[in-house]
Amino acid sequence: MCKNLRCMLNAEQQLQFISLQLCIDDKEFDIPQVDTPPTLESILNEPEEEDEPFILEDTCLLNTENIDAHSCETSSLASSDSGDLETNATVHGSVLRRNLLKGISAQIVSAATVSNVIAVGTSHGLALVFDQNQALRLCLGTTATGAEYGAVSALSINHDCTRLLCGFAKGQITMWDLANGKLLRTITDAHPPGTAILHVKFTDHPALAVCNDSGGSVFELSFRRVMGMRTCESRCLFSGSKGEVCCVEPLHAGPELKDHPITHYSLLAMASLTKILLIGLKPSLKVWMTFPYGKTDPASVPLLAWQFVAVQKTINPVLAFCRGDTIHFLLVKKDESGTIHVIKQRQLQLNCDLISLSWINPRTLVLMDSTEKLRVVDRPSQEELETVDMAELQLVYNSSHFKSLATGGNVSQALALVGEKTCYQSVCSYAGQIMYLGTKSVHIMTLRNWRERVDHLLKQEKFMEALSLAWSFHEGTGKAVLGLFADPAKRKGVVADKMVEILLQYVDRSLKKCPEQGKIQVMEQHFQDMVPVTVDYCLLLQRTDLLFNQIYPRLVENSVARGVFLESLEPYILSERIGCLTAPVMRDLLSYFQENGMMDSVEGCLVHMDITNLDIQQVVQMCWDNQLYDAMIYVFNSGMNDYISPMEDDCLAFQFLKCLLNPRESLSPQTVLKLGPDLHELLVDLLCQFSPQQVIAFLKTSQDYRLEEAIQITAKHKLHEATAYLLEKKGDVQGAFEVLLQPDGEGEETGDEVPSLLQRVEEALHDIIALCQRSSHGLNQQQRETLEKHSVSPDCVSLSSALKELTMKVLNSMSSFIAPPAIIQRILQDPVYGKGKLAEIQGLILGMLETFNYEQTLLETTTNLLNSDLHWSLSHLRKAVSRGLHPRQDHCNICLQQYKRRQESEEEIIIFSCGHLYHCQCLQRKEVGVLSERQYSWSCYKCTSNQGTRPADRPSAESSRSCSTSLAQVSQAVTFHNRKNDSQPV
């Protein structure tokens, strides 16, 4: 009995009225007549019968090429919903709450605050009105009338919920008084006969309604009462001959928006098979906008839905319309002059064919596709929040009325094709809920409030998803949020309390479901998945008290959980996200690290924490026993404000000075202090004793020590390389050599020490190379290899002669890369040669001068050759471009007219070096010129055409020249002006 259940919910908040339709076509399904009306329970609970398949005939495609359309204003995407927050949250949970009803009575009881009355239209032409207890309150109409009018095909209730309009499958319309069940009007001539009523809807005006029939026409119904007689005047708003309308939607404003300036126009949206129309019924009929679909699937269902939306701090209606997979949004607003403006907003592109479109609130859309899946979409971000499969509902479609089977099926094939997937009367939305009617059941979808969505995840033990969703609510980035305060402080306070509750539940559940058997790694992994999440959210909520006073005492009961928790604190401490621990946690942390040999972790954590609540003596002793000098100094400085005690011990003094003078080398977060040179020299002394490998690095980075004192310190500790570095820095290169040549031990040099001394000379050579590189402002890789390939000759007997030989080789190699004056100046400044005779360096200087003369002669010769070649090229080019040109013909090679005969007007002539002649206008028409920076460069049309390419098609004339062609042969052209009395070249 329930194959074509129809529903229409169109009530206002004053009475909170819901109307449902049960519209069964007896002839289509061969249903016998009954004498007594069925009860609501029997209607909804009868078993479903198999539908016989309906075979479509060939349909004619609609031509959408020539459609009249008014222009729509457009706005940028930023103009839509200013202030919308972007979010990175990907967890939305269950957005919709779904109630499956086996009978209408169950829904009435569960939603008594929303709906007080339900009206059901039947295939026998009856309208049954039930109260919330499912008791039959009114039975409007008779079976005799139903036999004459057919099934109820549409229902509508006016704005104050006192009148009910019923449309019938055979075209009649009746109006009923809902207070007493009295029939007020029977309308039989509102539209052409032989068509079914597809839609009948009240507007916000109390005496104005519209109806849409299966012929695709739309009519305005005006109700009047003259001298006690109730009348109805009908006016055609749209003729189906222009493209059948199959969906109409008047703009309804709630009580809070009844004074909105746009409500005075009684706006009506109509969706035909080819376009969307927006008209105003008041104060006079006017078309405000038409919008064509373009090319769409002819079987797609046109959909319309109104919603008042806050856009740019102003509340205005937005019309959402769709046919196929794209939803368009039109913002409607009125200016001061009274003109309605329709502004196109950003569209929503989907990958499915839609059959139902509903707003559930100003930011959220609920869509149903052709596979009967609900899709919840956030309009500002265009993000799909949830998908619900509604296939088990067995949604009822409006096929029989769109085919107008009750009147003989006299409808177009296009409308019948669309009717296969229409479900207008089976889906209705009101006050944040959407009702879907199936053949056996009713489903009502409402938005879950934020707390329900979180609890829904908790029931499935999805704690991390629940925390992520709650955090999005806390930060204001959640989608489709219901039930939260608009004030950020209140919102965060409420959500934070809920998150604390979730965290405690998460910890208790993890402890309860901890694996009791198996490897220890399995238990550790179990808590490693939970503990970081808990710590992160406690820190995000700034609730370390929750972490240490409530969560940690729970975890202590499990030794594995305790260890994982303590180890997980280290990265948070090192990154300074946690700076203070409670005394029990700090004590357990240090003990755990010490027991497991994690002393580096102890030192790293100590120097990043507030240690005022520690047992200082215990910590100092632990640091001393394990040589944690940085941590010990930090404890003295931060815990006891003592900067003197560390200086009494050499090891501590050494670490202390490192902390003060070079904190980057230490774990201690001390501030760099500008101290005197004596402390820097003291650190050099300590480095020589405890860490000699760091001396040179410190000497290079620090600039606050005195050179003489530092040289004495390094010499005292026999650190020759450090001493040589300081001497070189001082400028005493000879002294640096002497230090490097000193033996490591005491006593005289022996023959056995010569190889080691030669090795030191080799090292000194590298120092010389480095010194030369600095003086020459850096050498490239090849130059460095050239300098470094020279080594000590094995034939050198004397160390002094070996050093001189190496020096000569190095300086001789430098002469190819460094200016000779710079080399000579360096030699004269050297203490070795500065005191010697000129004869020792005579050979070197003469060699350098010879090289210089050769290079100078080579440079002069090369310059002369280049100048000669350039002069020859320019001379030949000048001869080529200055010689006269003689045209091959006396006519233009394009228009073939003789240029001498065209004396009636001024004419510009162009002659190319190839001898071809053209009119300038002819070349312009052929587009054979290339515009350069200063002038227009022409190319010969005939020559370039013979080559198979047009100059205009090439990037430039120069790019296609051969290498042997001269400049004059290609680009030279002479321009003439033919005038009436003067034909001389200009």
H or E element: which one contains 18? strand 17-22
Amino acid, res. 779? L
Per DSSP, what are the bridge partners of residue 908?
977
Confidence band for 449, pLDDT divided at 50, 70 and 90: very high
In a domain, 871, yes or no: no
H or E element: which one contains 70? none
The per-residue DSSP string of 460-471 comes to: TT-HHHHHHHHH
Give the CA angle between residues 13, 327, 443 to the nearest 5°: 45
Burial class of residue 704 in the structure, from the number of CB atoms within 10 Å of its CB (0-12 exposed, 13-18 middle, 19+ buried): middle
Which residue shows structure tokens 């010129």?
929
pLDDT of residue 490: 94
Q: Higher-confidence residue: 748 or 581? A: 581
Given 688, 719, 742, the domain boundary residue is 742
Q: How many helices (H) and strands (E) does the chain have?
A: 33, 36
Phi, psi of 878 (to 5 degrees): -65, -40
Q: Are residues 765 and 737 in the same domain?
A: no
Least confident of 72-76, 466-470, 520-524, 880-884: 72-76
- Tell me: pLDDT of 33 over 90: no
Q: Are 377 and 365 in contact, with CB atoms under 8 Å apart?
A: yes
Sign for the CA dihedral angle at 832, 835, 840, 842 comes to positive
Whole-angstrom distance, CA of residue 43 vs CA of residue 118 = 14
Order of strands across the sheet that contains 973-978: 917-919, 907-912, 973-978
Least confident of 103-107, 152-156, 695-699, 861-865: 103-107
Q: Are residues 657 and 724 in the same domain?
A: no
Of 361, 329, 330, 331, which is closest to residue 348 (Cα–Cα)?
329
Q: Residues with Cβ < 8 Å from 822, sequence gap 6 or more?
A: 775, 776
In a domain, 850, yes or no: no
- Tell me: pLDDT of 915 over 80: yes
In a domain, 900, yes or no: no
Q: Higher-confidence residue: 642 or 230? A: 230
Given 410, 431, 447, the domain boundary residue is 447
Q: Are residues 355 and 332 in the same domain?
A: yes
pLDDT of residue 67: 28
In a domain, 970, yes or no: no
Confidence band for 728, pLDDT divided at 50, 70 and 90: confident
Q: Are residues 358 and 266 in the same domain?
A: yes
Q: Residues with Cβ < 8 Å from 260, sequence gap 6 or more?
A: 253, 308, 315
Of 19, 11, 21, which is closest to residue 401 (Cα–Cα)?
21
Q: Are residues 437 and 500 in the same domain?
A: no
Phi, psi of 832 (to 5 degrees): -70, -50
pLDDT tens figures, 792-818: 444 434 555 656 666 667 766 676 667
Whole-angstrom distance, CA of residue 582 vs CA of residue 219 = 77
Q: Are residues 393 and 482 in the same domain?
A: no
Q: Are residues 175 and 134 in the same domain?
A: yes
Q: Higher-confidence residue: 161 or 405? A: 405
Q: Higher-confidence residue: 832 or 240? A: 240
- Tell me: pLDDT of 383 over 80: yes
Confidence band for 124, pLDDT divided at 50, 70 and 90: confident
Phi, psi of 695 (to 5 degrees): -65, -50
Least confident of 397-406, 494-503, 735-744: 735-744
- Tell me: pLDDT of 196 over 70: yes
Which residue shows structure tokens 């090679």?
893
pLDDT (mean) for 613-626: 72
Q: Are 647 and 653 in contact, with CB atoms under 8 Å apart?
A: yes
Q: Are residues 738 and 788 in the same domain?
A: no
Helices assigned H by DSSP within 397-487: 399-402, 413-419, 450-459, 463-475
List own/partner pairs for 57-60 with CB under 8 A and 24 or more apart.
57/413, 58/413, 59/298, 59/413, 59/414, 59/416, 59/417, 60/412, 60/413, 60/414
Q: Are residues 724 and 768 in the same domain?
A: no
- Tell me: pLDDT of 613 over 50: yes
- Tell me: pLDDT of 186 over 50: yes
pLDDT of residue 642: 60
Q: Where in the sequence is the domain holding 721, given as residue range(s)? A: 674-742
- Tell me: pLDDT of 771 over 60: no
pLDDT of residue 964: 31
pLDDT (mean) for 921-949: 74
pLDDT of residue 627: 67
Given 780, 802, 818, the domain boundary residue is 818
Q: Are residues 619 and 517 in the same domain?
A: yes
Which residue shows structure tokens 């394009």?
894
Of 560, 585, 558, 556, which is closest to residue 572 (Cα–Cα)?
585
In a domain, 76, yes or no: no
CATH of the domain at 187: 2.130.10.10
In a domain, 251, yes or no: yes
In a domain, 837, yes or no: no
Whole-angstrom distance, CA of residue 336 vs CA of residue 339 = 7
Q: Are residues 348 and 423 in the same domain?
A: yes
- Tell me: pLDDT of 956 over 50: no
Whole-angstrom distance, CA of residue 263 vs CA of residue 749 = 112
Q: Are residues 174 and 302 in the same domain?
A: yes
Amino acid, res. 930? V
Q: Which of 415-429, 608-622, 636-650 has the highest mean pLDDT?
A: 415-429
Whole-angstrom distance, CA of residue 35 vs CA of residue 143 = 7
Q: Could you tell me the two tokens for 437?
A: 């009617």
**Structural domain count, the chain:** 4
Confidence band for 92, pLDDT divided at 50, 70 and 90: confident
Alpha carbons within 13 A on the beta-carbon side of 138: 19
pLDDT (mean) for 305-324: 90
- Tell me: pLDDT of 904 over 60: no
Q: Are 268 and 287 in contact, with CB atoms under 8 Å apart?
A: no
Of 474, 290, 320, 304, which is closest to residue 382 (Cα–Cα)?
320
Q: Could you tell me the two tokens for 639?
A: 């815990």
Order of strands across the sheet that contains 183-187: 152-157, 163-168, 173-177, 183-187
In a domain, 389, yes or no: yes
